[in-house]
Amino acid sequence: MSFASGSSAAATAAAARAAAIAQAIKASGALISVNPDDFLYILSKNDHPLVITATGGVFKPNYQYLTSYKSFIFYTKSTAPLPLPGNTELISAQKIWLPG
């Protein structure tokens, strides 16, 4: 295989990956990353927030959270579990995957 065909294959793979990420973003809508305090503030603005949770991390665990508010999806990650309001409906996911 020549260098040109190898770089062409790499460029094609990169373009395919970029297209897949763009499609995932279109499917999920606007995804906004916020710090944990802002995430809790957003939850306080909703009477019965729905939160999707997952844990991740390889060397140190992290706690991941998603919620929607006014057609936006908010995401945060924390090194410790967040003190969610008592009126929160929780859905536990095996993994939260973010495009990009």
- What per-residue confidence (pLDDT) applies to 18? 65
Tens place of pLDDT for every residue, the chain, 100 residues?
444 555 677 777 777 766 665 665 555 567 899 999 999 999 999 999 999 999 999 999 999 999 999 888 999 999 999 999 999 999 999 999 887 6
The DSSP code for 80 is S
Q: Cα dihedral sign for 10, 16, 18, 20?
A: negative
- What per-residue confidence (pLDDT) applies to 12? 78
Cα 35 from chain centre: 13
- What per-residue confidence (pLDDT) applies to 28? 54
